[in-house]
Amino acid sequence: LSTLSHEIKSSENMPLPDVVIPTLGENAPSEQQQQPSPPSITVPSVEE
């Protein structure tokens, strides 16, 4: 049971991000703007 649970979690975790990335870029443009927002603030913060 432990192995099955691990395989299911790994399989669900892999397709999740893969499907979320393209879906957010084509379906949810609002989320795409929020993603580049955090890195934009971290870039200047680290440079300063």
Tell me the CA distances in angstroms from 47 to 21, 27, 33, one per residue in order: 28, 33, 22
pLDDT of residue 28: 52
Q: pTM for this structure?
A: 0.14
Tell me the residue range of the domain where 21 lies.
Answer: 2-47
Averaged confidence pLDDT in the chain? 56
Using the Cα atoms of residue 29, residue 35, residue 39 and residue 41 in order, give the sign of their dihedral.
positive
Question: What confidence category does residue 41 fall into, taking pLDDT thresholds of 50, 70 and 90?
Answer: low
3-state SS track over 1-48: CHHHHHHHHHHHHCHHHHHHHHHHHHCCHHHHHHCCHHHHHHHHHHHC
The number of domains in the chain is: 1
